[in-house]
Structure 1
Amino acid sequence: MAAAHRSLLLWMVFNVYLISFTSALDENQFIYHGFSESKLYLDGTAEILSNGLLQLTNATELQMGHAFFPFSFKSNVSSYKSLSFSTNFVFGIVPDPNNKKSGHGMAFVISPSLDLSKSKPTAFLGLFNSSNHGLSTNHILAVELDTVKSAEYNDINGNHVGIDVNNLESNESATATYFSDKEVKNITLELASGNPTQIWIDFDETEKLLNVTLAPIRIPKPNRPLLSTSIDLSQIFLDSMYVGFSASTGELVSGQYILGWSFNKSGQAQNLDITKLPSLPSLPARGSKKRILKIIASLIVAVVVLIAIGATVYIFQKKKYEEVLEDWERQYGPHRFSYKNLYKATKGFNDKELIGEGGFGKVYRGVLPSSNEQIAVKKVSHDSKQGMSEFVAEIVSMGRLRHRNLVQLRGYCRKKTGTYISL
């Protein structure tokens, strides 16, 4: 019984040890292919999108975003243990399609605190403010991916990588390039290209050497780093430090993203499997904005032309059927026909409907559209020597006559161009 009890006790001790070891492993080594299942500490504009993409900044001006692994790692500065670390992540900076220039950049950060809320955006990259910039009490190491040239920090250009300690005037910086092992030369990379880019940051405590290596996402880690700097992290780190990212925007904006992240406090970080990473938002094709504006302009012109054509047709149709109607004619209302009805009845006074022609005008056959009655319409050019009112009065009087040898006069219609009589 005692032996069985001892076995159970040993099993329990072993499991407690295993749990502690696993927890330590989780806190000092991790890998994320997308961040859907992560428990990162986020603030500012930082958020995890539905596809697992970590978005640090969006298209909002003068903002900053931070994302940190929530557990600190023990740097053990006081006990003089190894400070070596290794990290590998894939980032993407998608510029605002409305501007040729990108907003401010982003940085990988090792900080003694998760709280960077008092920092400022723009050129401060969400890391410092005007009162603490450059202070040794910051205890911050950053590798900046800067897309704006800030003269106050002696930036070399608007597309560079820099190693920063407690301030943004880099200890060392270089234009963003990667070494092609195949072509045996450096090739320029555009940080704000909208394409995913991979970066490796490795610190060897024995040599006190920090290496930063850059490459397009599908290129293996080059043999030659972009930056290689001697640095004593024991003078910077505290016993407990946090790792994460910081990014900011200014008056110009860009979307800044992390697709995947691997970190190891005590050895080489695991390689990311790029096939498991989420996709960046697509960048509009070059010139697409101009094409859209041209299409919109063309549509506006087309609408204006159509409106003009419609208005012209309406005015033409209105004038086409326009009649002359004066106050004195109202007493003859029942004897008046609309010109539009007579026009339709005679098919536009078509010559095929012509049934006679005399000295006073032409006569056309017609069918009234409202009643299908057959009528004859005489088109008379009125002689202006006779008063118009007297002429119409005579026509109406004739309409009152009834005789078996006379066709009944039904009424009249009057236009400026002539008088039309319906029989």
Structure 2
Amino acid sequence: MATIQNLILTLILFSNPVFSRFTDFTCIGFNKIGDNITLNGSAEIEKNGILRLTNQTNRLLGHAFYSSPVKFKDFVNGSVFSFSTSFAFATVPEFSHLGGHGFAFAISPSKDLKGALPSQYLGLLNANDMGNFSNHLFAVEFDTVQDFEFGDINDNHIGVDINSLESNASEPAAYYDFNSTKKNVTLKSGETIQAWIDYDSTTNVLNVTISPSSTKPRIPSLLYHVDLSPIFNDYMYVGFSASTGLLASSHYIFGWSFNMSGLAKTLDLSSLPSLPGRKKSHKILAIGVSSLATLALFFLIGVSVFLIRRIKNADVVEAWELEIGPHRFSYKELKRATKGFRESGLLGVGGFGRVYKGVLTKSKTQVAVKRISRESKQGVREFMSEIASIGRLRHRNLVQLQGWCRRRGDLLLVYDFMSNGSLDKFLFDERKIVLNWEQRFNIIKGVACGLLYLHEGWEQVVIHRDVKASNVLLDGELNGKLGDFGLARFYERGSNPSTTRVVGTLGYLAPEVSRTGKATASSDVFAFGALLLEVVCGRRPIEPKAVAEETVLVDWVWEAWRGGRVLAVVDQRLEGVFDENEVVMVVKLGLMCSNNVASARPSMRQVVKYLDGEVGLPEVVIPPLGNEGGKCGGDGKLDFVVDLYESSSIEDMSMYSVKRNEGTDTSFGLGSASVKTSPHPLLPDGEETR
């Protein structure tokens, strides 16, 4: 009986045009669409028939979905049907060339998209459901803001998004003409652009094509192989979603064609409604150019001179800058705070530029201002990396980024001022006071807590990639805080870290990173192990041979441990005043963290438990290195790099730094390493000096 009822229900569904597989419609403007479209948020149909998803209001979202669900899957075998759509759109930014954020063609199990957020989420998802398989969301985004959190390739691209705003595939916005020549398209130009999205279920190929004309190019702008069967439900809703952020754009759809039985109709752009005033403005421009050319020329010259004078000292504002969480300071404000970046307020000089002490005029708060030099290799991408997500990190053992500023070639970061500077100065600078053991142990525990927060306590996994003494800052009470996130990388939990360029500091750089190019939480633990030994011994992880016979600290400590002379490695400046049990525990933990085998190292959660005394350390310590020859990394390569600089002075020298370009070459050449100075810990030491 139940089988007969299911059969009858299936026949009813197939006979109902709403649930028919062969959904096919074309809208030349949206005046006559009636109840066939559902609008949410700011979306509305204007009098001339144009569908406007958002207006030029900040943090807005708009949805427009075909009201009836569309049958996308075969009931028998569960495969997805082929589908095709075309539509004409325009994005008109509030400010020229500053788009925010973009829109997407979406196929969703719901036309409400409840809980979705504007800004970088395009009105599709929110931070909590990013990447969830249960979303059953497919979208093709037309993005006008480069969001580094989602790994966007630029601020003018198309992308395929499945259950997430991290695109599975993306390409810069462009099309191929009939000569197969690639031509760029500016999505936020305000001009009408046509898009075609075609999915072939027999080959599992998705083609996305765009063009500023009524003719569909033969070569797609983006081609992506994907089986959508696991993504789609039997019935889904089709439509559009758009959003704005701190900068806004109006997103318009002029016409829309959708077909489940063949290719969607290509739209004739000349037959579609146009934006009010656009044609009129073209006529006015033509008249002005032809009859008032001389007057316009003088006018433009006058305006140019005026603008040049006005913007000479003005701050540069781009779209991505207004999407960043921390406070954006004006250049004038920071210049006043540092008294014109006076040399008397200089805290340090490094590879990325200079750090100045400043006092904010209004709040009287002391800050450290890192002014990145124009010649620095830390460009806008690295600058963004340090502020876009780092500004949202909150922990008592992390140096807080208060804000930032960009003015032409000047990039500036504003941090909490750490009155006692960096840990390395206390360990290696004879002019500094000597930290007693209690202070050192407290600093170690603080840094461990900060790293645990980065690895497990935040919404993403944060790999610092440059843990070392010069990046540990001390406040007025000598509490340790981890700073300098210029090399940090963010990963979703459970994801596999991607291969990237090898950056870091020799002596702190885990051996597997140089082989695989993948930085992990375990590689941070390796660096923390070097820091532990550094704090106990008062020696750098790698000392030039002119200073000490033992060039690699972990080798020297291991030999002392194996020979039962563990207390002999303790910093002589402590004059024998320390807790022996704590010292032995820290040395043992440092050797465990320094193991060449990543899987043999403890996690930061285990490290914190050891330091807090919640659990005891294992009785046996595995040799930290893979050989007995004292070669860090076990392959001899590190000694080659160190030997290059054995005659270098170590005064004010932070450490040897190495950087490798992306690729498979894991060798360390003369051009890939350099000795560098870092008088202040706010300066990223993972780059070369000039």
TM-score, structure 1 as length reference:
0.61
Distance between the aligned counterparts of 1:191 and 1:61, measured in 2?
19
What residue in structure 2 maps to residue 59 of structure 1?
A: 56
How far the C-alpha of 1:116 sits from its partner, in A, is: 1.1
Structure 1 residues 56, 21: CA separation in 2 closer, same or farther (over 3 Å shift)?
same
What residue in structure 2 maps to residue 272 of structure 1?
A: 267
Percent of residue pairs bearing the same amino acid type = 45
Distance between the aligned counterparts of 2:219 and 2:50, measured in 1?
29
What residue in structure 1 maps to residue 92 of structure 2?
A: 94
Does the alignment pair 1:238 with 2:236?
no
Distance between the aligned counterparts of 2:26 and 2:273, measured in 1?
14
Structure number with greater CO (CA < 8 Å, separation at least 6) is 1
Structure 1 residues 41, 194: CA separation in 2 closer, same or farther (over 3 Å shift)?
same
Matched residue type, 2:254: L
Does the alignment pair 1:212 with 2:208?
yes
How far the C-alpha of 1:37 sits from its partner, in A, is: 1.1
| Structure 2 residue matching 1:233: 3-state secondary structure | coil
Structure 1 residues 246, 196: CA separation in 2 closer, same or farther (over 3 Å shift)?
same
Structure 1 residues 27, 101: CA separation in 2 closer, same or farther (over 3 Å shift)?
same
Distance between the aligned counterparts of 1:23 and 1:115, measured in 2?
18
| Structure 1 residue matching 2:195: 3-state secondary structure | strand
Distance between the aligned counterparts of 1:84 and 1:257, measured in 2?
26
Q: For the Cα contact (< 8 Å) 1:196–1:280, is it kept in 2?
A: no
Distance between the aligned counterparts of 2:252 and 2:87, measured in 1?
11
What residue in structure 2 maps to residue 143 of structure 1?
A: 140
Distance between the aligned counterparts of 1:111 and 1:250, measured in 2?
23
Q: Deviations over 1:58-95 (max 9, x none)?
A: 01100100000001011225422552100010010011
Matched residue type, 2:118: P
How far the C-alpha of 1:26 sits from its partner, in A, is: 9.8
Corresponding residue to 2:118 among 117, 121, 125: 121
What residue in structure 2 maps to residue 382 of structure 1?
A: none
Corresponding residue to 1:165 among 155, 162, 170: 162
Distance between the aligned counterparts of 1:208 and 1:26, measured in 2?
18
Q: For the Cα contact (< 8 Å) 2:97–2:188, is it kept in 1?
A: no
Matched residue type, 1:83: F
How far the C-alpha of 1:272 sits from its partner, in A, is: 1.9
Q: How does 1:363-402 map to 2 (within 5 A)?
A: none
Does the alignment pair 1:253 with 2:251?
no
Q: For the Cα contact (< 8 Å) 1:75–1:239, is it kept in 2?
A: yes
Distance between the aligned counterparts of 1:127 and 1:103, measured in 2?
15
Q: For the Cα contact (< 8 Å) 1:77–1:237, is it kept in 2?
A: no
What residue in structure 1 maps to residue 224 of structure 2?
A: 229
Q: How many residues align?
A: 274
Q: Deviations over 1:25-47 (max 9, x none)?
A: 69711000000111310000000
Q: For the Cα contact (< 8 Å) 2:18–2:68, is it kept in 1?
A: no
Q: How does 1:239-388 map to 2 (within 5 A)?
A: 239-282=234-277
Matched residue type, 1:230: H
Does the alignment pair 1:180 with 2:177?
yes
Distance between the aligned counterparts of 2:216 and 2:23, measured in 1?
22
How far the C-alpha of 1:115 sits from its partner, in A, is: 1.2
Distance between the aligned counterparts of 2:16 and 2:253, measured in 1?
28
Distance between the aligned counterparts of 1:197 and 1:251, measured in 2?
25
What residue in structure 1 maps to residue 486 of structure 2?
A: none
| Structure 2 residue matching 1:65: 3-state secondary structure | strand
How far the C-alpha of 1:274 sits from its partner, in A, is: 2.5
| Structure 2 residue matching 1:110: 3-state secondary structure | strand
Structure 1 residues 88, 100: CA separation in 2 closer, same or farther (over 3 Å shift)?
closer
Structure with more of its chain in helix, by fraction: 2
Q: For the Cα contact (< 8 Å) 1:77–1:238, is it kept in 2?
A: no
Matched residue type, 1:86: S
Distance between the aligned counterparts of 2:233 and 2:150, measured in 1?
26
Distance between the aligned counterparts of 1:216 and 1:71, measured in 2?
30
Structure 1 residues 94, 41: CA separation in 2 closer, same or farther (over 3 Å shift)?
same
What residue in structure 1 maps to residue 40 of structure 2?
A: 43
| Structure 1 residue matching 2:120: 3-state secondary structure | helix
Distance between the aligned counterparts of 1:157 and 1:27, measured in 2?
37
Distance between the aligned counterparts of 2:115 and 2:220, measured in 1?
34
Matched residue type, 2:227: D
What residue in structure 1 maps to residue 81 of structure 2?
A: 83
Q: Deviations over 1:173-216 (max 9, x none)?
A: 000000011x3210000000000000100000000110001101
| Structure 2 residue matching 1:148: 3-state secondary structure | coil
Q: For the Cα contact (< 8 Å) 2:19–2:71, is it kept in 1?
A: no
Matched residue type, 1:223: R
| Structure 2 residue matching 1:234: 3-state secondary structure | coil
Distance between the aligned counterparts of 1:34 and 1:148, measured in 2?
27
Matched residue type, 2:188: A
Distance between the aligned counterparts of 1:166 and 1:276, measured in 2?
35
Distance between the aligned counterparts of 2:71 and 2:97, measured in 1?
43
Structure 2: tracts of 5 or more residues without a match: 1-11, 286-295, 307-690
RMSD value, Cα: 2.7
Structure 1: tracts of 5 or more residues without a match: 1-16, 298-423
Corresponding residue to 2:149 among 147, 152, 177: 152
Q: For the Cα contact (< 8 Å) 1:90–1:217, is it kept in 2?
A: no
How far the C-alpha of 1:271 sits from its partner, in A, is: 2.3
Give the greater-gyration-radius structure (CA). Answer: 1
Structure 1 residues 22, 136: CA separation in 2 closer, same or farther (over 3 Å shift)?
closer
Structure 1 residues 123, 267: CA separation in 2 closer, same or farther (over 3 Å shift)?
same
Does the alignment pair 1:107 with 2:99?
no
Structure 1 residues 252, 27: CA separation in 2 closer, same or farther (over 3 Å shift)?
farther
How far the C-alpha of 1:50 sits from its partner, in A, is: 0.2
What residue in structure 1 maps to residue 363 of structure 2?
A: none
Matched residue type, 2:84: S
Distance between the aligned counterparts of 1:83 and 1:27, measured in 2?
10
Q: For the Cα contact (< 8 Å) 1:83–1:233, is it kept in 2?
A: no
Distance between the aligned counterparts of 2:251 and 2:18, measured in 1?
31
Distance between the aligned counterparts of 2:73 and 2:141, measured in 1?
25
Structure with more of its chain in strand, by fraction: 1
